[in-house]
Amino acid sequence: MTERLAELSRAFAINICAYAVMSNHYHLVLHVDVAQARDWSDAEVARRWELLFSVPYIAQKYLKGELSVKADIRVALEVLAELRRRLSDLSWYMRSLNEPIARRANEEDRCTGRFWEGRFKSQPILDEAGLLACCAYVDLNPVRAAMAATPEEADFTAIQQRLQEFAAERATAAPSETPAQQANQHVTPPLHPFANHLNADPAKGLPFRFQDYVELVDWTARIVRDDHKKAMPEHTPAILIRLGFSAEDFQQHMQAQAMTRGSVIGQVERLQAYARSLKKRCVMGVRMPRVCLTG
């Protein structure tokens, strides 16, 4: 799964903010960068598409300068425009992720039929508070399922990958790995970086400091792990205070299924604006607290 995510990251204008691959399902938090795809040249669009699929013949001829008929050129440009659209389309991303996995699983099991249970479910995230809660919720899936005791032990998650990459960057004299150790490592996808300040351009990175996020995830992991004891650490992470969360509110959002009940995630004002944009009176959403930005 992580290998396929890495392949898709090289092609699509879609960034991975958080992920958790479980034994029978997975969660992703994604940033769709339509502006990035818009800036690509036609040649770059074709190069990226060819990483996953074959480029239509007429588009290949156009890029080689082998078309002279205006009607053919128009068709080629329409084809390239469609490929550009698909490379920033969430449905095409999920299709490109799920179909190869389903085919491989069916081949291994020597069976046919549907592997995934219907269409994927997606929820728009409307603000920083929703993004923070979703990333933490996804990163802590293995801890919540009692498959890992700490975030760093949660295999096949973005938080484990980020912590490992951070440790590798700080290591100054790490011993070289043996071929056996290298063979046991799985391929991981590139992750959307932290922009290290609130109100950052989403295209530049997650609008938080990495250290603050790690503190929050560690704090939340202890709450989730010790839920049967009703344990609440005395210290509340600063990032929650800046985003207007109470410790109790955030704990409730981290419970199983809490983030999957609505069709959209954000503050009440954002939910209302989103409903108006859809010309609806209301939407069923996961409500975040009112944000009071202080840093």
Per-residue pLDDT band at 114 (split at 50, 70, 90): low
Spatial CB neighbours of 2, under 8 Å, sequence gap ≥ 6:
19, 21, 156, 186, 187, 188, 189
Q: Average pLDDT of 91-99?
A: 93
Q: Average pLDDT of 16-41?
A: 94
Which pLDDT value is given to residue 292? 38
Which pLDDT value is given to residue 227? 58
For tokens 């958080």, the residue is 18
- Higher pLDDT, residue 149 or 90: 90
Contact of 14 with 30, CB cutoff 8 Å: yes
Q: What is the chain's mean pLDDT, rounded?
A: 81
Q: Average pLDDT of 19-35?
A: 93
Which pLDDT value is given to residue 85? 98
Q: Average pLDDT of 90-99?
A: 93
- Higher pLDDT, residue 64 or 169: 64
Which pLDDT value is given to residue 243? 74
- Nearest partner of 283 among 151, 127, 123, 117, judged by Cα: 123
Is residue 134 over pLDDT 50? Answer: yes
Specify the pTM. Answer: 0.81
